[in-house]
Amino acid sequence: MTAYDDQNIFAKILRGEIPSFKVYEDDDTLCFMDIMPRTDGHCLVIPKTPCRNVLDATDAQLASVMATVKKVANAAKAAFEADGITLQQFNETAGGQEVFHLHFHIHPRHTGVAMRAPGQMGDMDAIKRHAEAIAAALD
């Protein structure tokens, strides 16, 4: 398997080298907003320690990330009065992964509303408001 590259964009966010809209963090994980949101409230959960994806993550990394996914997913569902939540997670280029630091996408979903196409930059003011709304709905 290819080695972890600490110059990936999420590693830079973890080091504070580039900005992000933080939703939540604990000792082991960070949640921040996706800047090309495919749904309102689209956010990402990552471990603070390095791994490319599920294939090389330790069980401890996966456990801490999934605990945060559950916590934030419930908050996002409440904040957006969503009908459901879609999780996405991609592994290696052939699996659709573009940023090679493990991450789970959280999407609040409303019945009958499709996800937007990928790769479209979002409105930063709206993304900031959405981060604040999810953070305010956390336990």
- Catalytic sites, residue numbers: 103
The reply on whether position 29 binds ligand AMP by CB under 6 A is no
Q: How far is CA 83 from the centre of its chain?
A: 19
The reply on whether position 17 binds ligand AMP by CB under 6 A is no
Residue 54 beta carbon to ligand AMP: minimum distance, rounded to whole angstroms: 12
The reply on whether position 9 binds ligand AMP by CB under 6 A is yes
CA dihedral 125, 129, 134, 139 (to 10 degrees): 140
Q: What angle do CA 92, 53, 108 make, to 5 degrees?
A: 100
C-beta closer to ligand AMP: residue 63 or 124: 124
Of the candidate spans 30-38, 63-71, 74-82, 106-114, the one that interacts with ligand AMP by CB under 6 A turns out to be 30-38
Residue nearest to ligand AMP (CB): 36
Among the listed residues 36, 54, 78, 133, the single contact to ligand AMP using CB under 6 A: 36
Could you give the CA distance from residue 23 to residue 29 in angstroms, rounded to a whole number?
11
Among the listed residues 25, 70, 86, 90, the single contact to ligand AMP using CB under 6 A: 90
Interhelix angle 59-79/124-136, nearest 10 degrees:
100
Could you give the CA distance from residue 59 to residue 63 in angstroms, rounded to a whole number?
6
Residue 103 beta carbon to ligand AMP: minimum distance, rounded to whole angstroms: 6
